[in-house]
Structure 1
Amino acid sequence: MNVAAGCGLRQGEVFGLAVDDVDFLGGVVHVVRQVKLLRLHRPVFAPPKGGKERDVPLPESVAFALAGHLKRYPATRITLPWKTLDGPPVTASLLFTGPMDLALDRNRFNDRVWRPALRAADVETGRDNGMHALRHFYASVLLDAGESIKALSEYLGHHDPGFTLRTYTHLMPSSETRTRAAVDRVFQGDEPADDGPETAQEGF
């Protein structure tokens, strides 16, 4: 799922993503709802976890993937109650739907799509490899690229950057890693170093 891995959305937020939430020109995804299951596995639309809406950068690669998906599978108008089973009906043109054009059910999706895909790829189907792992992948990519904890916290929809730090501190590049990367960027840059006549030997 490109949206989960490339934008860090939670599973329910991916299922609740509507075409109007994606600003292709501006390169932004507006995370404003999720599909949530209440008792008897009945779905409702609800705010993102913690009630916190947010904007997430939309990478060009993910935008192209979404555009291709929309070309093959046009968005489907889905109406669900808001927050509670007797809540007011809300309609959204969802990007991802299940059989018979219904909102995706996380339990059915995990059983019939996610876990079979893991088994086909010879990956264990335990809790650590649930769809939530794609959020961890997103976090690791951003931290490895030098993104700040504050920005990552905002993109993930966390209330407290301290929580983000505690959760992902083990993924942060070490000072040694940053040092090697900084030197490598200079040595492998497009502009050749000025090796004057006094350079005695390559590699110094």
Structure 2
Amino acid sequence: MSNISKISANYQVDCWNNLSAMLDAAVAAGKILSNPCKSRSVSSPTRITRLITPWSERKFQAIEAALPDRCRIGVTLGGGLGLRVGEIHAFSPDFIDRERMTYRFARQINSRTGPLQFKLPKGHKERQIPISEGVLQRIGAYMHRYTPVTVTLPWAEQDGQEFMTVRLLLTTETNSAWWFNGWAAKVWKPAFATAGEPYEDQVDGTHALRHLYASHMLTQGVNIKELASFLGHTDEAFTLRKYVHLMPTSHDRARAAADAMFPPGSNSAQGKPVRRRQSPTSKNRPSGTSRRVAGRPLRPHTAGH
């Protein structure tokens, strides 16, 4: 299929899994005898897995500096909170809890197909994300230059609500919400040309900021369970598979543990035996004297016995 279409291998896998699940349901309902997707004579598509390589600090700073000032806050939201591009565009300062230092993420903007819409986060799951003082300061400074804009869009969920009104932090120069394609074509990709950086599809999109966030969280000791929650992943195993190669190794901790048992610079390092400390009961006891065990004297050991 890859040879005759432009459908990516990973999307083929998703379609195959969905089809197989429907056929399993048909088998359970007695509509068909077996699931042909599970036949040995049928080859299923294979997912292509790429190891994520986070941007370097130099590249991150170069792209941020190359963005227009009005759009630069998108780097802070993506790299500082781990948001997807639709989540960046739907960010509202009204959902920041400054006492708890968290941001409640409750919506995204769907702009890839059809009209602009607000909708629930991916997986229909709200999440709380820790927000740092540095990120708050950047947001505050940005709001002094660009006032948040109140935007009303259709509500995509089938729950009886037709529209939703939200104060958005990041909008266009005409005070409207960003389309995904417009952001990529007019803002994101031109920043690479301005910075003199090559742009690679599937690697350098705005989503790269999310990977940068994940790598920094792992470096600072955030565990996989917490990171999955911050990123909005429903499966911690998925987060582990995606970012396990970015986790810091335990080599330094292992060396420290060994050094605690065998301290560097000790006598044994020069080939000299390490003297064992005598117990308080045996210290300075004259040779040949007896000792007591459970109230009964023991005879001193003599040769030949």
Q: What TM-score do the two structures reach when normalised by structure 1?
A: 0.83
Moved more, 170-179 or 143-152: 170-179
Judge conservation of contact 2:112–2:180 (CA < 8 Å) in 1.
no
| 3-state SS of 1:100 partner | coil
Unaligned runs of 5+ in 2: 1-74, 258-305
Pairwise CA RMSD of aligned residues?
Answer: 2.2
| 3-state SS of 2:104 partner | strand
Name the CA distance, whole Å, in 1 between partners of 2:255 and 2:88.
37
Structure 2 residue aligned with 1:195: none
Deviation at 1:109, TM superposition (A): 0.7
Q: Does 1:17 align with 2:82?
A: no
Unaligned runs of 5+ in 1: 183-204
Structure 2 residue aligned with 1:103: 177
Corresponding residue pairs, total: 182
Moved more, 26-35 or 77-86: 77-86
The sequence identity of aligned pairs, in percent, is: 38
1 or 2 for the larger relative contact order (CA 8 Å, sep ≥6)? 1
Name the CA distance, whole Å, in 1 between partners of 2:155 and 2:176.
16
Structure 1 residue aligned with 2:118: 45
Deviation at 1:181, TM superposition (A): 9.3
Name the CA distance, whole Å, in 2 between partners of 1:151 and 1:170.
17
Structure 2 residue aligned with 1:121: 195
The 1:106/1:39 distance shift into structure 2, 3 A limit, reads closer
Tell me which structure has the larger Cα radius of gyration.
2
Name the CA distance, whole Å, in 2 between partners of 1:170 and 1:48.
27
Deviation at 1:80, TM superposition (A): 0.2
The 1:179/1:141 distance shift into structure 2, 3 A limit, reads farther
The 1:11/1:39 distance shift into structure 2, 3 A limit, reads closer
Name the CA distance, whole Å, in 2 between partners of 1:123 and 1:75.
31
Structure 1 residue aligned with 2:263: none
Structure 1 residue aligned with 2:145: 72
Match of 2:239 among 164, 172, 178: 164
| 3-state SS of 2:165 partner | strand
| 3-state SS of 2:116 partner | strand
The 1:51/1:140 distance shift into structure 2, 3 A limit, reads same
The structure that is helix-richer by fraction is: 1
Q: What TM-score do the two structures reach when normalised by structure 2?
A: 0.56
Judge conservation of contact 1:44–1:84 (CA < 8 Å) in 2.
no
Structure 1 residue aligned with 2:109: 35
Q: What whole-Å deviation, never above 9, does each CA across 1:82-105 have from its counterpart, x for those lacking one?
A: 016996011000111113111111
| 3-state SS of 2:174 partner | helix
The structure that is strand-richer by fraction is: 1
Q: What whole-Å deviation, never above 9, does each CA across 1:103-144 have from its counterpart, x for those lacking one?
A: 111111111111111222222222201110111001100111
Deviation at 1:57, TM superposition (A): 0.3
| 3-state SS of 1:13 partner | helix
